[in-house]
Amino acid sequence: MLRSWHHTASRRAFLLSLLVLVLYGWIAWKLYFYSILRKKHYRPFVDGTRQVSRGLAAQRGAILDRNGVVLALTQPLIEVGIDPFAARPEEDKPLWPHLAELLGIGLEDIQAAMTRRHVLKNGKRKKLRWKQLGTLRDESAHEALQKLRIRGVYGLRRSERVYPSGHVASHVIGFVNREGQAISGVEHALDFFLKGHEGCLNSECDGRRRELAQFRHFEILPQNGANVFLSLDIFIQNAVEALLDRWEQRHHPQGMSVLVSDATTGELLALGNRPSFDPSAYAQAAPDDLRNRAVTDTYEPGSVFKIVPISLGLEWQVLRPEQIFDCSRESVDFGGRRHPLPRDHRPMGRLGVMEILSRSSNRGVAQIALQLGPKRLHAAAQLFGFGERTGYAFDGEVSGILHPPSRWDSLSITRLPMGHALAATPLQVHQAMGVLASGGYLLRPRVLSAVMEDSGEEILHPSPEIRRRILSPATVRLVREALHNPEKMLIAHVRCAGKSGTSQKLIEGRYSQEHHIASFSGFFPMEAPQILITVVVDDAQMESGIAWGMRLAFPLFKKLAKWIIRHREIPASPRKFSC
């Protein structure tokens, strides 16, 4: 009997050993099969499970004005939401008031989020696993949220582009959308510098997808974006915005643009448009509000353009300052044909060249243009920058319209010198007046001051750019004197010079008698210009009469000039002065 028991035990041990051996053999075969025979097929899956690769986000650089005032920056925030399927409303309800206080929402919002578990998507009922409750921007508030330990409630970290000044200079700055894409303005044009370079991390992880730092393969740290400094002066920009708001409320125009620049360098100190928008709430703005009208919209500049044929007529010695023209004539014979002359806003007799400019005679400047001839008149407009982009690189600038003489009709030669038969942007008009303010140079308008790393190292620092010299100092002195009206252009004891313009709008192919664009462009002090200002007001509503440039645009220029003179402490002009 004992032998029989030993025999049975030996048999069982043999079978068990055989079973273990077969099991280990099966495991060895599987290991060989998967790791050797099917290695190429399964290796990507295994590596994908064990390894983790992720990008490390770079922080977008800030945009600042010339004084270091921040106009745009990136701030971290935490989006707080709830997974209704993980929530336990019956247990956590006493904590809801604390959650509502942290997020600044009502208890009813939390109740609705806790109980709504499904949503209709493409006609199908789907589980709702995330419902946003609010946003936290303070780390201490996030810590308080975590201490509440409300199940199903958690936060997702992301960054947000913030524009502290709201709509101020919004058309220059532009905006970044919620997906982090730069859409317009400086944000878009200098996106390469602002966005920085994303980093990268590659490591191994455990079964719960937690990184094993000791097995990290490589890590490339992100490089934060550079900071962009603009030539804008936030104090002057705020003054421009305040005046634009006042004029908009008073006159309800279709649009307005105001430009302020340094007369000696071409740097833009302020640029404002109406309508405007808040970059932080760009989705609420109408498409027209997003347009930078100063560089995208064109109009017939009107009498401001008269500086072009008169200045270059004198420069090329086609005209003499003492030359007299009969401005009472309705037509003149020139080049073997009869040319009808445009009407003046009031009767004028015989005027000298400089009087034609100071008194803004349409008939006088038309006769000057006939003396110049089509080719020279067209060349003069080109030299002053009309018909070509100024080089403003931040918002789809247009070149305007300046037809070659071959496309002119019989009236173009007498209508172009008074600012009709061409189209220009407010920035082009501003640049043209800048020739007289700068002493005869055509300066490229510039809004970028510098691009700088956080460390203070400069990446980019553009210098003032002279596109070409157009006028001699003698011609500049003559024209400046003609643009100074002692009665109207003495502002805060500082001599100013400038020219108004009033152009009729084209409505359904015809010049309207009721709809006008009023403008004024001028500079100061006249003896050594520092500041250049251009104002354009499109189709304002007046209580009575026509919205003349001197009646509508000049008062805005005057108020802004007064403020800048005080702000910059520009001294009074000498009593006896001649350009």
Three-state secondary structure of 183-242: CCHHHHHCHHHHHCECEEEEEEECCCCCEEHHHCCEEECCECCCEEEECCCHHHHHHHHH
Q: Is the dihedral of CA 101, 102, 108, 111 positive or negative?
A: negative
Name which of 445, 527, 516, 432 is nearest 489 in CA terms.
527
Separation CA 371–CA 475 (nearest Å): 18
Tokens representing residue 278 in the block: 């808040």
Alpha helices in 444-553 (DSSP H): 473-482
pLDDT in the model for residue 52: 63
- 517 and 505 Cβ atoms separated by less than 8 Å: yes
Separation CA 435–CA 555 (nearest Å): 23
Separation CA 466–CA 531 (nearest Å): 17
Domains and CATH numbers, the chain: 56-86+97-103+131-230 (3.90.1310.10), 234-302+314-321+385-392+418-567 (3.40.710.10)
Phi, psi of 147 (to 5 degrees): -65, -25
The whole-model pTM stands at 0.83
pLDDT in tens, the chain (579 residues): 556 656 677 777 778 888 888 888 888 877 777 677 666 666 665 555 666 666 667 889 999 999 999 999 998 888 888 888 777 877 788 888 888 888 888 888 887 877 777 777 777 777 777 778 888 877 787 788 888 888 878 777 778 899 999 999 999 999 999 888 999 999 999 999 999 877 776 776 765 556 655 556 556 777 889 999 999 999 999 999 999 999 999 999 999 999 999 999 999 999 999 999 999 999 999 999 999 999 999 999 999 999 999 999 999 999 999 999 999 999 999 877 899 999 998 889 999 999 999 999 999 999 999 999 999 999 999 999 999 999 998 878 999 999 999 999 989 999 999 999 999 999 999 999 999 999 999 999 999 999 999 888 889 889 999 999 999 999 999 999 999 999 899 999 999 999 999 998 888 778 888 899 999 999 999 999 999 999 999 999 887 878 899 999 999 999 999 999 999 999 999 876 555
Name which of 479, 373, 457, 454 is nearest 416 in CA terms.
373
Separation CA 231–CA 257 (nearest Å): 18
Tracing tokens 């009646």 back to the chain, one arrives at 551
Q: With the CA atoms of 372, 373, 378 and 381 taken in that order, what torsion angle do they form, in degrees rounded to the nearest 10?
A: 20
Q: Is the dihedral of CA 32, 37, 39, 42 positive or negative?
A: negative
